[in-house]
Amino acid sequence: MDNNSAKVFKIGFLGMGTVAQGVWRHLQDNKDLMAKRFGAAYELAGVCVRDSSKKRGVCVPEDKITTDPMEIISDPSIDIVCELMGGIRQAREYTLAALKAGKVVVSANKALICNCGAEIFSAAKKYDGSYFFEASVAGGVPIIKVLREGLVANRFSLIYGILNGTCNYILTRMERENASYESILKDARRLGYVEADESLDVDGWDSAHKISILAYLAHGVWIKPENMLIQGIRDIRIEDLRWAKDFDRRVKLVASVRKNEHGAVFASVCPTLLPSTDVVANVNGVYNAVSMDGDIVGRTVHIGRGAGQDATASAVIADIGDAIKYLLGAPMQLSPVSDTLVNLAGLSDISACFYLRLEVKDEAGVLAMISAVLAGRNISIELLEQRKHENAGRAWLMLTTHITTEDAIKKACAELESLDEVYDSPFVMRIFDA
Amino acid sequence: MDNNSAKVFKIGFLGMGTVAQGVWRHLQDNKDLMAKRFGAAYELAGVCVRDSSKKRGVCVPEDKITTDPMEIISDPSIDIVCELMGGIRQAREYTLAALKAGKVVVSANKALICNCGAEIFSAAKKYDGSYFFEASVAGGVPIIKVLREGLVANRFSLIYGILNGTCNYILTRMERENASYESILKDARRLGYVEADESLDVDGWDSAHKISILAYLAHGVWIKPENMLIQGIRDIRIEDLRWAKDFDRRVKLVASVRKNEHGAVFASVCPTLLPSTDVVANVNGVYNAVSMDGDIVGRTVHIGRGAGQDATASAVIADIGDAIKYLLGAPMQLSPVSDTLVNLAGLSDISACFYLRLEVKDEAGVLAMISAVLAGRNISIELLEQRKHENAGRAWLMLTTHITTEDAIKKACAELESLDEVYDSPFVMRIFDA
């Protein structure tokens, strides 16, 4: 190690967007402190950008800038490559090339990992390299390190949390200001909180990518978004938040992965009613939270900023520290090891209690008809309340069910939607069961 | 690494109490899974106990039991020594001997680390060994790993939290059941939640040991309990909790370490009023919580069981995993590195707003007298309320102050106590300022 300590580790960047600029600036400004903490010196060696003439918030010497990624990837003096370019196709190509070239790769690219994680991890293994991705989930909260190392003793029956700060910001403001989804979304856009592809945030895809990564680490199986139940926040109305408040609950976009008693795992991202006493229910604004139930440790919850330049940079820098430790001789970050074979659960295996909101004709007999549909699926009603609708002749019907399956609810909703007395499709939320 | 992977790491135990039994059982029951996760096989090689005839909850083969600690420490085949015996004098002696003998030592002994950390860490360095102590703070929450590794990019201006589950349990039940300190303490004793030396818990010493460790990791300086402000929970009355509720606050025993703008650090353990919206304020029962303000990541909060056999075992096992990684070639866990010299702040450097509860004579002129004492110290009153006392002729006076110093409050309280109109010494709580 003494010989190695004298080595200066060279770090190259693919991409110089918001996060990369944060990483560059903090590593540049705190060089002595970080080198001491890492146990070795480093040099910010090069940056590949798409447009070298673009003005940036950090000062990168001109001779370190290139527009050719291979100049970074093929430079034998570079030890660590930070892939902070985003996107999937090119990021995949460069990541695989960098691993093949013997680099340690650090990434914050959740979409890439969710889509190509199996391929990337096996490349890392094949070329005896390593791939670090702490910043891909929950921003500054070192949740991957906590899961893999700090809680290494545990098996996880349930992991759930808030993994998208934008959705949480929108829901928090809707609730506080009694405002509609559309009006707050407009504001969030104006503040730059929403991704260019808005659907990634509000339709739950970003959360799905992240829970997929946690599911892999906990259970060793890649669950693709198409095998999850995914529902975004577009259809949440202020009436739902008011109902929740009256029943001492809060609405959050909850991403979760559960393993049931038969060893089947199931991941989902959906608006969910949490009891207002749940710690996660009280995490507001752009903050993320991850709650994990370990079989030995019990429940631990980890909260922090889920996005933003500095929070994400903090996680990337932690990975660079671990990458240096790896290069100094630490064993490879192990792949997840599950001691049981897991399979994916189907919709009829997944039980929950549900909240339904229906927009109905305000006339006699409607209630009986709806009850009959639910009874036909063996779904029994727990609470039922009719609330005023802004249009005369219509009413909101809020109801909660006793425990039933995703499959039964799905079929019942399709049937309800087909009734003349029901406008639009029913809005569904899961009631959280810890 | 391939050669090393074939090695079976031998683990010896000093002490076989509650936590050690948990560690032994989980490592025994999950041998294959843990070996895969650690990247190497292990053997539970030996146990030193005080009384070998004592019945224990786990089955340790007789030939692995000794009453002579040197049989573990001097056994050249043993790689990792788990010091789980508690206490200070002997634990210190055996720890130093084990480090000298080239062992990696794992410990959950917060009192030992707080008292002898400097000596132990320098011995670990001298003998090129390593010392792991995740379980010493916040039980199952891997807060030391989060602080040192996951948030390595950050400097910490404020760390605060609930570090003693027993006190939090007592306060939570007092609040929920509107019950007195004494009645709940009795129950906690009966349930085995209170240490044999009760003062460790309820007078704040245990929290002080733990915040001392976090302060060292964040700032590189050992703050001994005698240099902290320490106040336990004995004098908290149900009246204080009621007042707090009426003002939308909650009372927690908060341990904290702050660094002020002049680079001075200050650690304290005191009953504190937190706004009821603070995440930490909503952590109840035996749970612990640690909130850390990093200059880059912002605030992160970590919550979990702070004590108990399994939660603590989970942290010890994580350390054993890291110990094996260290033996496989990972660089030594670095000592904390602070980039600035820190000094300890004095009482006149520490500002806060305060809550005072005074037991006073219920007669004219008392209020004027008290106001005069506070005014004489330049302490200005924010809220003041007189509440009914159970004894006729007396009253409770609750007041909060605007910002002032610890020094001013201390002197004012001494003066108030000397008044004939004031019974007993004033009860003081800090109002949390994040």
CATH code of residue A382: 3.30.70.260
Residue in chain B nearest A139 by alpha carbon: B297
Subunit contact A149:B142, Cβ cutoff 8 A:
yes
CB within 8 Å of B309: residues ≥ 6 apart: B18, B19, B21, B22
Residues 117-136 of A with CB under 8 A from B: 134
E strands, B40-116, are 41-48, 65-66, 80-83, 104-107
Residue with tokens 């539970």: B44
Task: Examine the fold and report which residue of A327, A361, A389 is the final residue of a domain before the chain moves on.
Answer: A327
B300 and B374 co-located in one domain: no
* d(CA B282, nearest CA chain A) in Å: 7
B128 and B161 co-located in one domain: no
Q: Report CA-CA distances (Å) from B237 to A21, A316, A382, B175, B283.
A: 52, 47, 41, 10, 20
pLDDT at B350 over 70: yes
B226 and B246 co-located in one domain: yes
Subunit contact A146:B151, Cβ cutoff 8 A:
no
Catalytic residue among B103, B110, B210, B259: B210
CB within 8 Å of B37: residues ≥ 6 apart: A152, A334, A337, B321
Catalytic residue among A10, A103, A110, A210: A210
A355 and A296 co-located in one domain: no
Q: Any CB–CB contact under 8 A between A25 and chain B?
A: no
Residue in chain B nearest A152 by alpha carbon: B318
User: Is ipTM strictly over 0.90?
Assistant: yes
Q: What is the end-to-end Cα distance of chain A in Å, rounded?
A: 46
Q: Any CB–CB contact under 8 A between B372 and chain A?
A: no
Q: At what angle do helices A18-29 and A31-38 cross, to 10 degrees?
A: 90
Q: Any CB–CB contact under 8 A between B306 and chain A?
A: no
Residue at A178 is within a domain:
yes
Q: Any CB–CB contact under 8 A between B337 and chain A?
A: yes
Q: Encode pLDDT of A334-349 as tens digits.
A: 667 776 778 888 888 8
Cβ atoms of A83 and A91 within 8 Å: the answer is yes
Distance CA B191, CA B200 (A): 17
* d(CA A291, nearest CA chain B) in Å: 9
Structure token pair of residue B261: 């703008």
Q: B interface mutation test: which of A314, A332, A339 has the most B CBs within 10 A?
A: A314
Which one of A151, A310, A332 has the shortest CB-CB distance to B318?
A151
Residue at A333 is within a domain:
no
B108 and B196 co-located in one domain: no
Residues of B in contact with A153 (CB under 8 A): 26, 30, 34, 313-314, 317-318, 321
A175 and A131 co-located in one domain: no
A285 and A319 co-located in one domain: no
Residue at A61 is within a domain:
yes
Question: pLDDT tens digits for chain A (434 residues)?
Answer: 444 458 999 999 999 999 999 999 999 999 999 999 999 999 999 999 999 888 888 989 999 999 999 999 999 999 999 999 999 999 999 999 999 999 999 999 999 999 999 999 999 999 998 999 999 999 999 999 999 999 999 999 999 999 999 999 999 999 999 999 999 999 999 998 888 899 999 999 999 999 999 999 999 999 999 999 999 999 999 999 999 999 999 999 999 999 988 889 999 999 999 999 899 999 999 999 999 999 999 999 999 999 899 999 999 999 999 999 999 998 877 667 776 778 888 888 889 999 999 999 999 899 999 999 999 999 999 999 999 999 999 999 999 999 999 999 999 999 999 999 999 999 999 999 87
Residue at B335 is within a domain:
no
Helices and strands, number each (H, E), in chain B: 15, 18
| Prediction pTM value | 0.94
Cβ-based neighbour number of residue B58 at 10 Å: 16
Distance CA A217, CA A148 (A): 7
Q: A interface mutation test: which of B18, B37, B309 has the most A CBs within 10 A?
A: B37
Task: Examine the fold and report which residue of B254, B276, B306 is the final residue of a domain before the chain moves on.
Answer: B306
Q: What is the end-to-end Cα distance of chain B in Å, rounded?
A: 46
Residue at B98 is within a domain:
yes
* DSSP 3-state percent helix, strand, coil across chain B (nearest 5): 40, 25, 35
Q: What is the pLDDT of residue B195?
A: 86
Q: Any CB–CB contact under 8 A between A39 and chain B?
A: yes
Of the candidates A285, A287, A160, A277, which has an alpha carbon nearest to the alpha carbon of residue B282?
Answer: A277
B151 and B250 co-located in one domain: yes
Q: How many domains does chain B have?
A: 3
Cβ-based neighbour number of residue A364 at 10 Å: 7
Structure token pair of residue A162: 């808030």
Cβ neighbourhood burial of B409 (10 Å; 0-12, 13-18, 19+):
buried
Distance CA A331, CA A162 (A): 32
Of the candidates B97, B92, B85, which has an alpha carbon nearest to the alpha carbon of residue B115?
Answer: B92
Subunit contact B304:A299, Cβ cutoff 8 A:
yes
- At residue B335 the predicted structure's pLDDT band, cuts being 50, 70 and 90, is low
Q: What are the two backbone dihedrals, phi and then psi, of residue A305, each rounded to the nearest 5 degrees?
A: -65, 130
Q: What CATH number is given to the structural domain containing A195?
A: 3.30.360.10
Does the active-site annotation cover A210?
yes
Q: Any CB–CB contact under 8 A between A404 and chain B?
A: no
A296 and A356 co-located in one domain: no
Structure token pair of residue A146: 């906590």
B213 and B160 co-located in one domain: yes
Q: What CATH number is given to the structural domain containing B94?
A: 3.40.50.720
Cβ atoms of A206 and A163 within 8 Å: the answer is yes
Residue at A343 is within a domain:
no
Cβ neighbourhood burial of B162 (10 Å; 0-12, 13-18, 19+):
buried
Distance CA A369, CA A363 (A): 11
Residue at B124 is within a domain:
yes
A299 and A168 co-located in one domain: yes
Distance CA B148, CA B329 (A): 19
Residue at B333 is within a domain:
no
B90 and B158 co-located in one domain: no
Residue B323 belongs to domain spanning: 2-139+309-327
Subunit contact A302:B301, Cβ cutoff 8 A:
yes
Task: Examine the fold and report which residue of B297, B327, B357 is the final residue of a domain before the chain moves on.
Answer: B327
